[in-house]
Amino acid sequence: MCECLRRLCPRLERLWSSLGKEKPKDESEEVRVERPVIRRPSVAPPPPERSPESAIYTGIWSFESRHKDELSFQEGDVLDVISRDGDWWIARKIDQNGRVIGTGRVPHNYLARAESLQMQPWFYGTMSRFEAQNHLMDPENQEAAFLVRQSERDTVGYVLSVKSSGQIRHFRIFSSDGSFHVEPNQRFDSLIDLVDYYCKNSLNNIASLGTPCKRKKPNIEDINHLLDGWVLPKHEFTIGDQLGAGCFSQVFRGTWKNHINVAIKILKNDSMDNKEFQGEVEVLKRLHHRHLISLFAVCTDSPPYYIITELMAKGNLLKFLRGPEGQNQDIASLIDMATQVADGMSYLEEQKSIHRDLAARNVLVGEDYICKVADFGLARIIKEPFYISEDKKIPYKWSAPEAISHGRFSNKSDIWSFGVLLYEILTYGGIPYPAFNNQEVYEKVTKGYRMEAPAKCPSFLYKIMLKCWQENPEDRPDFKAVKVLLESSSYELE
């Protein structure tokens, strides 16, 4: 624990002592020399056990527990985090005397590391360009409001995002030889020094940085950490408004035990046999990624079966793109959404799994415009390069030629579908091959026809689409490569 931590959080002084650290001596104290006194050895109580992962955090939001396994805390409380597995960490709450007064699970995004950078009001940790834009555009933030974030893109690093003239501008913070800079002629020893400087001086056409961006309380509606198993009784769930419907199911807004929001997917009785249902559940259970929908539980006590997942407030991507919010997105935002989907599909690819129905209708949009790939009803875990299916109920306009003609599904056929998804995104929810029916699409595509670039589509994006639509599956890129191509676009930074 460093000296800056004590200055930032005086309440940790006693905790410092209780964990076996000696206070530094006051240099003004008189040094006395005394004869040694023989005393009986005493056994001091051992300090609380701390795991290698243990670290001190403070609460940035108050949290009221909803279950006996969760731990309540207030804004400013000190917590010793002893396990950081998933989104719900195990922590011990520490009082002013350094004593442990409670242990339980806490939402990780309600905490901040008790160190100088993480405790700064303007530092937001890892955040996408899209999330930064959504935070800063909140009406509570005035002109020149700003934040510093760690880009989700591996090669970027820190980014300074600023609200300027009703838009959000993003400045990459370069780091080399232990210094930081936005402008080559102004270098600083730390991010704190950099921010302090631009709070007093101009940056590009911005007179100076204003106040730190107002924080939004994160969404913590997750129940996985509260469950002993995957199967729950139906009576624990309340069904609300319908959110959507498909060939095999209907999706409703719902609540678990009347206070945690969830999405309830109700399968039609004749849509899927028990074996198919178990296949979908097995896929969902083992996949965990920021850009894939999370499975909470299933209800199988009686037909129709329920699949319980996290609730994505803005609905599916197709509906979002066609609505007023989607219509207002600029090219950079559209690229960001495509990148999120590619990120989720890259993980799916690493897990030797395929989707078989990738389309805008099967991507969900949540708060801060987080996009997650959903609807794994057609997904299969694969060990071979491709999966062969005789099912003719396939989405023709999104399917690769080999999937239509021979039922050959693979990660490469998913890549073909991603190219069509890019077309949907760039046309704000447009219909692929609008002038052709399913049979005409297959005939023309197998003869070499490819859709033209959408209006105002950047050339590099259309080149990615054409790569996805290569006739030979082996000539198509994988999702990892597509993700890199999207991330290298010039739209991320000023």
218 domain-assigned: no
Q: What is the mean pLDDT of the chain?
A: 82
Looking at residue 34, its pLDDT comes to: 43
Q: Is residue 398 part of a domain?
A: yes
The pTM is what? 0.68
What is the Cα Rg of the chain in Å?
Answer: 27
Q: Tell me, yes or no, whether 2 and 101 share the same domain.
A: yes
Cβ(297)–Cβ(232) under 8 Å? yes
Residue 209: inside a domain, yes or no? no
The single residue listed with the structure tokens 């998804």 is: 421
The average pLDDT across 445-457 equals 94
| Residues forming the active site | 357
Strand order of the β-sheet with 306-309 is: 237-245, 249-256, 260-267, 306-309, 295-299
The answer to the question of residue 254 being in a domain is yes
CATH of the domain at 145: 3.30.505.10
End-to-end alpha carbon distance in the chain = 37
Both 8 and 82 in one domain: the answer is yes
What is the average per-residue pLDDT within 109-137? 82
- Tally of domains in the chain: 4
Residue 313 predicted with pLDDT over 70? yes
Residue where a domain terminates, one of 95, 119, 143: 119
Task: Answer whether residue 211 is part of any domain.
Answer: no
* pLDDT tens for each residue of 156-214: 889 999 999 888 999 999 988 778 999 989 999 889 889 999 999 999 889 999 999 99
Instruction: State pLDDT tens for residues 26-60.
Output: 444 444 434 443 433 333 344 444 455 567 888 88
Cα(183)–Cα(339) distance, rounded to whole angstroms?
Answer: 28
Distance CA 412, CA 475 (A): 9
Distance CA 209, CA 126 (A): 21
Could you tell me the pLDDT band of residue 412, with boundaries at 50, 70 and 90?
very high
CATH number of the CATH domain containing 6 = 2.30.30.40
**265 marked among binding-site residues:** yes
pLDDT in tens, 101-110: 999 999 988 9
Name the phi and psi angles at 320, rounded to 5. Answer: -65, -45
Region for 269 from its dihedrals, namely left if φ exceeds 0, alpha if ψ lies in -120 to 50, beta otherwise: alpha
Mark whether 146 and 265 lie in a shared domain.
no
- Which pLDDT belongs to residue 419? 98
Q: E strand or H helix at 409, and its extent? A: strand 408-410
Q: Is the pLDDT of residue 298 over 50?
A: yes
pLDDT at 271 over 70: no
Going along 70-131, which residue ranges are E strands? 78-83, 88-94, 100-107, 111-113, 123-126
Average pLDDT over residues 352-360: 91
**Which CATH number characterizes residue 290's domain?**
3.30.200.20
> 233: phi > 0 → left, psi -120 to 50 → alpha, else beta; which?
beta
Sort strands 146-150 and 123-126 into parallel, antiparallel or unpaired: parallel
Beta bridge partners of 150: 126, 158
- Going by pLDDT thresholds of 50, 70 and 90, the confidence category of residue 420 is very high
- Domain check: are 109 and 2 in the same one? yes
Q: Is residue 39 part of a domain?
A: no
Q: pLDDT-based confidence at 2, cuts 50/70/90? A: very low
Domain end residue (candidates: 97, 119, 141):
119
Considering the domain architecture, whether residues 127 and 234 belong to the same structural domain is answered as no
| One domain for residues 270 and 412 | no
Could you list the residue range(s) of the whole structural domain that residue 127 is in?
123-198
Look at residue 1 in the predicted model and tell me its pLDDT: 42
Same domain assignment for residues 266 and 387: no
Token pair of 280, please?
């979908």
| 362 and 480 fall within a common domain | yes
User: What is the number of alpha carbons within 13 Å of residue 99 lying toward its C-beta?
Assistant: 3
CB within 8 Å of 129: residues ≥ 6 apart = 151, 159, 161, 170, 332, 336, 492
**Does the CA dihedral 413-317-271-253 come out positive or negative?**
positive
Q: Which residue has the higher pLDDT, 127 or 202?
A: 202
Strand residues in 121-178 grouped as ranges (E):
123-126, 146-150, 158-164, 167-176
- Give the whole-angstrom CA distance, residue 390 versus residue 335: 35
Output the pLDDT for position 158.
92
Q: What DSSP element (H or E) covers 238?
A: strand 237-245
SS3 helix, strand, coil % of the chain, rounded to 5?
A: 30, 25, 45
Taking alpha carbons only, the member of 100, 53, 50 closest to residue 73 is 100
CA distance 407 to 156: 40
Bridge partner list, 91: 81, 104
Place 146 in a pLDDT band, splitting at 50, 70 and 90. very high
Going by pLDDT thresholds of 50, 70 and 90, the confidence category of residue 8 is very low
* Co-location of 85 and 164 in the same domain: no
Same-domain status, 111 and 128: no
- How do residues 376-396 score in pLDDT, each as one tens digit? 666 666 666 766 666 666 788
Predicted confidence at residue 3, as pLDDT, reads 46
Query: Does residue 44 fall inside a structural domain?
Result: no
